[in-house]
Every structure is written in C-alpha cells, then in structure tokens.
Structure 1
Amino acid sequence: MIRLGVIGTNWITDRFISAALSTGQYQLTAVYSRTLETAKEFACKYGQVECYDSLDDLANTDVIDAVYIASPNSLHAPQAKVFINAGKHVIGEKPMASNITEVQELVELATDKQVVLFEAMKATYVPNFEVIKKALPKLGRIRKVYFSYCQYSSRYQKYLNGENPNTFNPAFSNGSLMDIGVYPLSSAIALFGEPNSMTAQGSLLDSGVDAHGTLVLHYADFDVTIAHSKVSDGFIPSEIQGEQGTLLVDFISECHGVKLCRRDEPAVELTVEQDENAMRYEAEEFARLLNSGTVNHEGLVRSQIVSAITTQARAILGVRYPADEL
C-alpha cells in the first residue's frame, strides 16, 4: 500500500484522491495546505489523516511514501525538489515545471535520489489512448493530424472584470499553452515522438499570458496542428489522417471516443469503456512504477520533450514567467 500525501485542497486534489483510492493501491495519510485550518477542513472527510502547514515537515515525515502536487504551476518544481531531496516519490500535476531547465533539474535530482518522478498527464494513460496507438497502422502513411482542445475558462470573466485570477497571471506560470495546450501536445509526442521542428502562434492578454494559440509540429512528411484556447469553447473532434483512413478522437484530453473511418468502408467504433474518473489510470501507472522500482521511464522522456517545446513556443510568443529569470 502506497502511503500518499497531497499538496493542494482544491477540486482536482479531491478527484485524484478518489481515483487513487479506487485502485486499491493507495492510502491517504497526509494533507498539506498553507494554513492548518484549511488542511484539516479538507482532510476531515477522509478519516484519520495527518495535516501539515509546513512543506519541510511533510517531506520529512515517515507517514508518507509519495506526494501528489496540485499547487499552482509555478510551485510544481520547487515543491517537488523538497520531496525528492527527502527521498519521497513525486506525482505532480501537469505541467511538471515552468520551463525545460526546471524539468531537467528535477529529472536529474530524481535519478540521483532514485525516486520516481511522474507527470500526471492523464490523456496518455487512459485505455482509449492505447486504442489510438494500436489503430495507427490501419491508417496507412500518416499525412495530417489535427488536435484541438479549446475550453472557455471559468475564471476568464473574473479577468475581464479587472481581477487577477491565478489562471491568467504569469507569476503562476499559467496561460492557454501551459494549462490546456499541453494535453494535445503530450498526446502528439506520445504518438509520434519528438518533431524535427515547430512553429507557434498565439494571442496574448494584457496580463502577459496567452489567451489562445496554435502549435504546428513538423515531422518528416506530415505536420501536427494543435489548437488550444482558454477564451473559447471547441466541440470538434481531433483527427489523425492517413492515406488509408482517418481516426476521429472525441475530447483529446481524455479520449472519450475513438472512431476509425477507412476509405470505402463503413466507420467502425473503436471506443472501449473507461472509468469516469480518467485520473485513475495515471494513478495506476504511478503505482506500477513505484512497485517495480522504475525510476527511469518513458514518461520522463516525454515530459522533457513537451517542456522543451512549450519553453520554445513561449519564447516565440513573448510569454515570460518569473521562473524563467531564475
């Protein structure tokens, strides 16, 4: 049984805890918040759980084996370092860190300390993502790929009202690419590997973060076009087009549906049943890595490629974070 501590007391933490407990491989043993009162209020529904308002105390306690980090993006890397240095395994919400320098430092530190470092990128671990990978040969030579994830932020109106919510504040390493675009980007890297080159476009808000944008990953004989937005809703499926057929993917961040359309053949539904809470599968993979002692894993390679691309794309767009100056 993996003894789990969590950082963050928001809805996504609740959802991950539910997912982890549903696997039967975790026990929630500790909760951290900036105030002890908030930690206790959050933890009360989970029974006997220790509460902390000190990161160092949580990192050095013997009641946890691993920690789940769901704090603002800018805190992911510095908090992960505290726990890795204490010999604890880390599963951190996407993005793993603010930039490629931070990601590489975390990977090197985790390797040195021989602990598992894992980015919670649910899109690449759900069962229907495996369906996509297995179906690719049926498409023939890949020619065009279109991935779209556009979702109007629930906090955008606050921004328009003159407030400064974290999700549109560069101090917290946010913006459309880092919060939304990383999902289809990670899926593309998991399917096709590192591109030969990339181009990026986007529209910036006055706060300095990107509201929406487009990435194009250039491979030898095809491109992957990625549309992302936090200021508009998108409903079109994503597509992988080959010379013999096309795959349609509903909601690329969780792969709710997969349909194969081969030329001159009836469309075939390939969708398999998934848990309603897609975070279950990332929790299972993290547990597998811990139980097998696998420190160097495929996910780390993918996280570094993704972070290198987002760092380069932000440089093109002119999106700078305080973390970039460190």
Structure 2
Amino acid sequence: MRIGVIGTNWITDSLIEASKNVEEATITAVCSRKQDTGEAFASKHGIPHVFTSITEMCRSGVIDGVYIATPNSVHHEQAIACLEEGIPVLCEKPLTATRELAEKMIETSRKNQVLLMEAMKSTVMPNFKRAQELLPSLGQIRRYSAHYGQYSSRFDAFKEGDIKNAFKPEFANGSLMDLGVYTLYPLVALFGMPEEVKAVSVNLHSGVDGQGVVALRYPEMDAVVTYSKIIDSYLPAEIAGEKAALHIEHISSPSGVTKINKGGEREDHTIPATKASMAYELEEFIQCWKKGKIESSINTHKLSLNVIALMQEIRKQIGVTYPLDQA
C-alpha cells in the first residue's frame, strides 16, 4: 500500500518509522499546508512527492491510502475529502470531537464503500489481545481501572503565558481528547458502554482540561480512569475479577500483561514486542484494505462512535466546549 501522510508532526515521524516494520507499506507522499514545510519533511524521510492540496494528492495516482495526523478539529473535513475521492483513511485518534461529525465521516465511508479506520494502536497490539483472551480466567469481573498521565512538553510554556495548540479549544485539544481516550477506548472495546458516568477535572484558563477522573458504572462492575497532561503517572491498568486480576503496563501501548491470582501469585503473560507499536495499526489498516473492507473488525465504526459519544458526555459534565461543537 502506497501511503500519503497528512500532517508533519512527531506522530507522523513515528508512523513513518513504524512503517519500516511493515513490508506492505510504503510512504510515497506528504501533504502539508506549506510547501517548504512539506519539502523539509519529505527530505528528512526520503518521501518522493509533496502536496499542499489533499484533493490533488488523492487524485495524483501516487497513493493508495492516507494517514491523517493533523489537529483534531480538522480530522472530519480532511477524512471526508479523502473518502469522497475513494482513498482509504487511517485517522489518528480521536476520530473527531462529536458524534455528529463522526457519523458524517462514517456515512461518507459507507456511501463510497471506502475504508475508514481510527488509528488506536492499543487494541490491535498483541498484549491487548492476550489480555482479552485471559478475561474468562478472572471470574466475574468487578473493576477496570486505567491511568495515563504524561506531563506535556508544552505545559511549561503554557505556565509562562505561551499557549500552544495542545491547550487550545479551537483545535479540540486537552487532556481527555489527547490522553483520556487511551483509557476509555479499551474499556468500551472490552465491556461496551456504561450505564452511568461521573466526571471531574482540573480545567485550565485556556478552556481545555489539564487532567480528569471519570467513574463509570456497569451492571456488574465499575470502572475508574484517570488522565493528565500536567503530571506524570506510572500506574498500570488493572482488570480485577473475583478469581484473579490482570495488570497491563502502559494502557496506551500495552507492553506487559501479568495475571495475579488470589494469594498474590504472579504469572507473566507478556508477548515480547517484535516491532514498533504503531506498526500493528498500519498492518490492520492494510489488511482491511486488501480484503475490500470499509471498517476494521477490531477498531470498528461503532466503537469509534461510542467512545466519541462518551467523551462528549464527559466534556459536558466538566464544562469543556469547543467551537467544533456547533459544527
């Protein structure tokens, strides 16, 4: 698959590096708003084609699919533009900010019978699948907890009055959208939507959340997730049942799985990593494309819709709104 990348930030660098572990992937084009930015990025990675127009890139004949890694606020319009041109889309998480916009993206995918997949890497990685396989051995599951705290490299500037895009509501950013999604997506993937949600947060003066805590109620269990861009956290995720518990290291990119039986006996079920974490989502995307599918059977359209709806409800409770909410 010949892939064009849209966006030239560090996450695109990571995707390109991961593509080296995927035999069927080749990065053939980059699209950037500015020609010189695109050319510099292409030169750094040895990418042969540079565009400043998404439509021109889609019609160029040099790509088979696109990877979108631009601000959350423009995911929907860029994805729709590509899908309308018949070009499959791997779109960075979160897919978009509102259920209404996500529905438009999915409707365009279905109308044109073109693949659309959210680039959530955790759920397609081997250690997440291993954890999923172990769930029946835990007995009745009673609790899910997941944590992701990463002090933003841009927060020091924020405290000095220099507000970067990562902390601007017009870009649909903040802690929930950037990091909280990593704690919620696996929860919904494994257990579906909760019956009740209660959220609190520390909001910043720019209008986005700096960190938050969400409690979620299910018929036979509860869940707690925490996320932050203003502290670091080192807690594992835990899925606890009546017979045993699972600890998952790094919920955003599962790197270890440990089962802890009653009495504290530990069993290591980790599958050693053999490639870059983002390679797995790229492989899933390419396999879906080769099979003529319009959605992944793992990162499904329904899953994306549900997670976005859940995050919308959380934002409503914590009082974080975006201009995009009126779109």
| Residue equivalent to 1:184 | 183
**TM-score when normalising by structure 2:** 0.96
1:290 is matched with 289
Q: Distance in 1 between matches of 2:229 and 2:73?
A: 18
Q: How many angstroms does 1:19 deviate by?
A: 1.4
2:245 paired residue number:
246
SS of residue in 2 equivalent to 1:277: coil
> Within the alignment, does 1:107 sit opposite 2:102 as a pair?
no
SS state at 2:276 partner: coil
What are the equivalent positions in structure 2 for 1:16-35 lying under 5 Å apart?
Answer: 16-35=15-34
Superposition CA RMSD, Å: 1.2
Q: C-alpha distance in 1, partners of 2:179/2:46? A: 34
The CA distance in 2 between the partners of 1:275 and 1:164, in whole Å, is 38
Deviation at 1:312, TM superposition (A): 1.1
Displaced runs of 4 or more, over 4 A:
none
User: Hey, what's the Cα distance between the residues in 1 that align with 2:165 and 2:151?
Assistant: 15
Q: Which digits, 9 at most, give the CA deviation of each residue in 1:62-90, with x for residues without a partner?
A: 21111100011111111111101111000
Opposite residue 184 of structure 1, the aligned amino acid is T
Matched AA of 2:308:
S
Match of 1:130 in 2: 129
Q: CA deviation at 1:60?
A: 2.2
Per the alignment, residue 203 of structure 1 pairs with 202
SS in 2 for 1:232: coil
Structure 1 residue 64 corresponds to structure 2 residue 45? no
Q: Deviation of residue 276 (structure 1)?
A: 5.1
Q: Is the Cα contact below 8 Å between 1:99 and 1:307 reproduced in 2?
A: yes
Contact 1:126-1:274 within 8 A present in 2 as well: no
**Structure 2: where are the runs of 5+ without partners?**
none
The answer to whether the 8 A contact 2:253-2:277 is kept is yes
Deviation larger for 193-202 or 242-251: 193-202
Query: What displacement does 1:275 show?
Result: 3.5
Query: Equivalent residue of 2:104, what SS?
Result: helix
Structure-to-structure mapping, 1:161-310, within 5 angstroms: 161-264=160-263, 266-275=265-274, 277-298=276-297, 299=299, 300-310=301-311
What is the Cα deviation at residue 309 of structure 1? 0.3
Residue aligning to 1:320: 321
Which deviations, in whole Å up to 9, do the C-alpha atoms of 1:82-140 show, x marking residues without a partner? Answer: 10111100001111112111111101110101110011001111100011001111110
Task: Point out the more displaced range, 288-297 or 165-174.
Answer: 288-297
Aligned positions, number? 325
Which residue in the other structure is 1:92 paired with?
91
Q: Which amino acid aligns with 1:76?
A: H
Identity, % of aligned pairs?
A: 39
Contact 2:21 2:276 in 1 (8 A): no
Q: Paired residue for 2:5?
A: 6
Q: CA deviation at 1:54?
A: 1.6
Aligned-partner Cα distance in 2 for 1:285–1:12: 18
**Residues 265 and 310 of structure 1, relative CA distance in 2, 3 Å threshold:** closer
The offset of 1:48, in angstroms, is 5.4
Shift of 1:265: 6.1
Deviations 1:227-267 (A, max 9, x none): 11110111121111100011111111111111001113621
Q: Take 2:234 and 2:136, find their aligned partners in 1: how far apart are those partners?
A: 27
Partner amino acid, structure 2, of 1:267? R
Which SS does the other structure have where 2:239 is aligned?
strand
